[in-house]
Structure formats: C-alpha cells, structure tokens
Structure 1
Amino acid sequence: MSPTGTPLYYAELIEEGGAYKLVVTDRLRHTVRTAYVSTRAVEQLPALLSKLDSLHSHGLRRR
C-alpha cells in the first residue's frame, strides 16, 4: 500500500537489546516523542493495524 496525501506523523519501532522503543515524529509541530513499549504490545501491533484498516475500509474513518 502506498501512502497518499501529506504525512503528519512518522513512527519507528526500534529494537535495542531486547527492549522496544517507539519513536513518533510529529511533522506539523516538529517534535519527537519516545516511549518504551512491552513485547506484548509489539506482538499486538499487527492485529491493531488490521482492526484500524478494517474500520477504515468499512467507511467509519472517512470524512
């Protein structure tokens, strides 16, 4: 899937020695936020992304 439109945020999930760090860049405010996340949260990301995609494809996210 290729993105279209204007990117508002960039997110990176970085593995550091067994720990996971989420880095989110807010392109509008020019800020970066970082948080460590659990392995369980990382494992649940594919399901969360599928759920968000499903909501979008059913018209719940469209304006």
Structure 2
Amino acid sequence: MARMTKEEKQREKDYEAAFKQHGSCVQFNIMDLNPMHKEVLAAVQSGKTMDEAMIAAVAKYRKN
C-alpha cells in the first residue's frame, strides 16, 4: 500500500467522522461500503462538502 499524503490522511479522517455522524445505526450491505467510499470522495473532489456527500450516499445505500 502506498503512503498517504497529509491531505489524503485528513480526507480519510473527515470521511470517518462524517460516516460516524450520518451513517451510525444505519444498516448497509457490506459490499456497498467500498463503492460508497469512492462515491463520497469523488463528490468531495467535485466540490461538495463531506457532509453533503455523505448524506447523499447514506440515502442511496441504506437498507433500513
């Protein structure tokens, strides 16, 4: 695995915090977690905030 830059590390920390805030106690298919991660990070790269991207992804991938 390649080393992550400071920006990548911060983006991952932000992702984890947003997932904990918006995805806690939500049921997901385990196979959807990786596509969800990629989709959120792509949305952040395109200009959305981490919270906006996470809320949209949770709404799309939630099972309950």
Greater relative CO, 1 or 2 (CA 8 Å, sep 6+): 2
TM-score by length of 1: 0.39
Q: Which has the higher helix share?
A: 2
Q: Which has the higher strand share?
A: 1
TM-score by length of 2: 0.38
